[in-house]
Amino acid sequence: FICHDSGATVLTYAPKHQLLISGGRKGFTCIIDLRQRQQQQLLQSHDSPVKAIAVDPTEEYFVTGSAEGNIKVWSLSTFNLLHTFINEHARQSLFRNIGTGVMQIETGPANHIFSCGADGTVKMRILPDRFSPLNDMLKNDVKFMI
């Protein structure tokens, strides 16, 4: 499969859907359906390299993190953008060359998203239930930060 002309930076697998999800240096996310052995979708997910990808345990959504520090949540069935956390892990200054943006993302049960970044923080977010009336109010609330 040829998805990223400048190379892939990260890769994950969604076993229930049998999808391979890769992120590239130019900000694209590629979804490959292994059952059909073909590329299913190519998204311009970020403006900088995709550095981290995680699939939630129920495989309802996947999360991408980029070098610019943004985290985006995508539907795994429609590939639509569900939510963006802007500047979650801001870029490092020019004087520190240890990397930039989001370095790793993990998902957990009950819509938990954990991320760490080059800014030296570890954050936990809880995505609210999509049917909750408090949905919009809680989306930008950081629950835990180290």
CATH number of residue 108's parent domain: 2.130.10.10
109 belongs to a structural domain = yes
114 belongs to a structural domain = yes
Q: Is residue 5 within 8 Å of 28, Cβ to Cβ?
A: no
How does pLDDT run across 130-146, given as a tens digit for each residue?
533 334 444 455 555 55
Q: What is the three-class DSSP state of 136?
A: helix
* Average confidence (pLDDT) over 23-30: 97
> Higher model confidence: residue 84 or residue 100?
84
Query: Total structural domains in the chain?
Result: 1
1 belongs to a structural domain = no
CA pair distance 143, 121, nearest whole angstrom: 13
2 belongs to a structural domain = no
pLDDT at 90: 77
3 belongs to a structural domain = no
Give me the domain span that covers residue 132: 8-145
Residue 10 above 90 pLDDT?
yes
Beta strands across the sheet bearing 61-66: 50-55, 61-66, 71-75, 81-85
Q: Is residue 49 within 8 Å of 62, Cβ to Cβ?
A: no
81 belongs to a structural domain = yes
pLDDT at 126: 86
pLDDT at 135: 45
For the ranges 22-26, 32-36, 102-106, 135-139, the lowest mean pLDDT is seen at: 135-139
